[in-house]
A and B are shown apart, each in its own frame.
Chain A
Amino acid sequence: MTGTRIRLRPPRHRVDPRARRWWALQALLTVSGPLLLTAAALLVLSALFFPGALPWLGPLVAAVLVAPALFYQLAMPAWRFRVHAWEVGASAVYTASGWFFQRRRIAPLSRVQTVDTGIGPLQRRYGLATVTVTTASTAGAVKIAGLAEEDARAMAERVAEAVRAVREDAA
């Protein structure tokens, strides 16, 4: 593949800044919280019943449980916010997601099957929504999480409109 060398540019629209708080809360509830609780429980139990184990258990717990939990809790939301973005183009829809593992996915509007908007219980608190644009392939669903609800509605509408336009062009 010689010729002009091209690469993907980031999608034009960022997700809502409130998404950072949603991700932080989600991280606390599902990953960091349980890890930190486990660490605390281990240390307390060890201090009460096996004080001799503390010198080696302390650093081990700090390295294996506390440090990853804190890193995830503090770094992930901001990192994710820098990555997550979306764009509905003339012929395709394009999203970027992830943080450490980053994923950019592009699906042509002519192959879009459905546009779903979902709002989870945590998302509702922050007025956020997730839009999923599905194709016939399970590996082809374009999903963008953390949009403001009105943005989500607008995006869903734009995709639906663009799909109609593309279909009419094809017909």
Chain B
Amino acid sequence: MNAPRHAGGWRRLDPRTPLAHCAWLGAPLGSLALTALATGGRLGTRAWITLAVIGAVFAAITGAGALSWRLTRYRVTADAVEVRSGLLTRRVRAVPLHRIRNVDLTASPVQRLLGLVVLRAGTGGHSGELKLEALGRAGAERLRGELLARAGSVDATEPVLSTADPRRLRYAPLTFWVFGGVLAAGGAVWRVLDGIGVQPWRIGVVRRAFDAFGRSALWLTVPAGLLAVTALGVVGAVALYAENWWGYRLEWTDDATLRVRHGLFTTRSVSIERSRLRGVVLREPLLLRSGGGAAVRAVASGLGDREENRKRSTLLPPAPRSEAVRVCAGVLGEPVGTDGLLPHPRVARRRRFVRLLTWAVAPVAVALGVLGALLAPVLLWCAAAWLLLAVPLARLLAGAAYRALGHAVRGRWLLVRSGALSGETVVLDRASVLAWTFTDTPFSRRAGVVTATPAVAGGEDAYPIRDMAADSAVAFADAATPGWLREFTEPVPSGG
């Protein structure tokens, strides 16, 4: 494909752009309407002041939006994208086309309604992002084609790796959102009610229900409440999953570009160039693992800062493990076995146990013990009960964390597995390892273990292999990235 030239051809953003800014009016106007409803239409002075402030801010923001729309121009030259903007200080931002690593199109619900999309071109640097807000959908698709055209296009053998499957919704409840989502939503509702001056526990229905039923039968109310929260959370998690992963599609759009798109109200689309892809992470958090599910994330550079990278690098939402393994193989280009990794020395298990005892079990026991000795002897019994309960639990957790540890070199891939709760298996391209870091403390040296960390550009940047046997860690690193570690090594003296 050849890139169209626009000699001096500055283009404008879509004229509907400033309209999308009106969306934020929804929240304050909505809450104002609620206030009006709650107070029976009599708006106090406060409400009028609020309305005036909203009006003024609205005018200012719309004006600023319109102005910035008028002043912003962009063009694609033979070798760069240029964006011109700014009122007082005119800025021209030029990003060389060859440095663009991915191009995403996203749209908020309002922008979707208006047929607009935001185009983001990432360059990998943490500040090197180019954002065009907003373009017409067709124009944006075309522009993305232009920008990504540099890589050449050969059809991959199996372009579509995975598509949406409603049956995967059953994995939605196995995520953090079941309880976290309810708490977040509950907090938001509470704040809205509080904001318009309604105190939920004063509402007659709630009071009467609690008086009549709740107080007399707490043994029933508490489990019922928990059940309700769980049910609500499950519904919320499923709804969230459905919105987020509606129309999900993961495919190689050409030989060099992996694209994932999904979303019902907000369409998210992320393109990752093969040359920016360092590997994948197979994620099996405890809950999801217990349901036989897994998710897949890309390790890639140029997706923005750490936070954005986490959000945008998901290749496969919670799905059956076999599907996740298949997607990994499709992304990596070959199946890579993630079972039977090299185990870590037994002392790693003891270290995890000791760490849990020191930082989680002991502080509570000591606090209870001290308080018990000073104030109420019953707390001493609590301390004893805590120890009886927590020590076996810590032992169990330490065992799980230890069993999760593993590492291996398989073909051109380096595998790192860790996390009792998060359960992540990282598969990294050995050629993308930019540095090795070996960290230890006097304690770990005495235990004969070391943490070896391969550094890559992308994802979390560092993927530590914790508590490897000290005398084999360097040999392992050298096997994974041959050539540049050997000159700094010496043989381990026998018996040492």
The residues of A with any CB-CB pair to B shorter than 8 Å are 1, 3-9, 11, 87, 89-92, 94, 98, 100-109, 111, 135-140, 142
Where chain B touches its partner, the secondary structure class is mixed
Cα A89 to Cα B489 in complex, Å, equals 12
**A5-B471, A139-B455 known; A11 and B488 CB under 8 Å?**
yes
User: Which B420-470 residues sit within 8 Å CB-CB of chain A?
Assistant: 434-442, 453, 455-458, 461-462, 470
Chain B residue numbers with a CB within 8 Å of A102 are: 439-441
Whether the pair A8, B439 counts as a contact (CB closer than 8 A) is: no
**A1-B476, A6-B475, A105-B437 known; A138 and B461 CB under 8 Å?**
yes
Which one, B201-209, B239-247, B371-379, B478-486, is touching chain A?
B478-486
Chain B residue numbers with a CB within 8 Å of A101 are: 439-441
Partner of A7, one of B439, B457, B492: B492
**A1-B475, A100-B442, A139-B455 known; A7 and B490 CB under 8 Å?**
yes
**A104-B437, A105-B436, A135-B455 known; A8 and B489 CB under 8 Å?**
yes
Whether the pair A8, B457 counts as a contact (CB closer than 8 A) is: no
Chain B residue numbers with a CB within 8 Å of A103 are: 437-439
Whether the pair B457, A135 counts as a contact (CB closer than 8 A) is: yes
Where chain A touches its partner, the secondary structure class is mixed
Partner of B487, one of A4, A92, A98, A142: A92
Partner of B484, one of A11, A91, A105, A135: A91
Q: Report if B415 contacts A (CB, 8 A).
A: no
| Most A CB within 10 A of own CB, among B435, B439, B457, B476 | B435
Whether the pair A6, B484 counts as a contact (CB closer than 8 A) is: no
Cα A138 to Cα B301 in complex, Å, equals 11
User: Which B311-364 residues sit within 8 Å CB-CB of chain A?
Assistant: 342
**A5-B491, A91-B483, A100-B441 known; A139 and B472 CB under 8 Å?**
no
Cα A79 to Cα B471 in complex, Å, equals 23
**A92-B484, A138-B461 known; A6 and B491 CB under 8 Å?**
yes
Whether the pair B434, A136 counts as a contact (CB closer than 8 A) is: yes
Nearest CB in chain B: distance from A163 CB, A = 13
Q: Report if B404 contacts A (CB, 8 A).
A: no
**A103-B439, A105-B436, A135-B457 known; A3 and B475 CB under 8 Å?**
yes
27 contacts between A and B (CB under 8 A): A1-B475, A1-B476, A4-B475, A4-B491, A5-B472, A5-B475, A6-B474, A6-B486, A7-B470, A89-B488, A91-B484, A91-B487, A98-B439, A101-B439, A104-B438, A105-B435, A107-B455, A108-B484, A111-B434, A136-B124, A137-B457, A137-B462, A138-B455, A138-B461, A138-B462, A140-B434, A140-B461
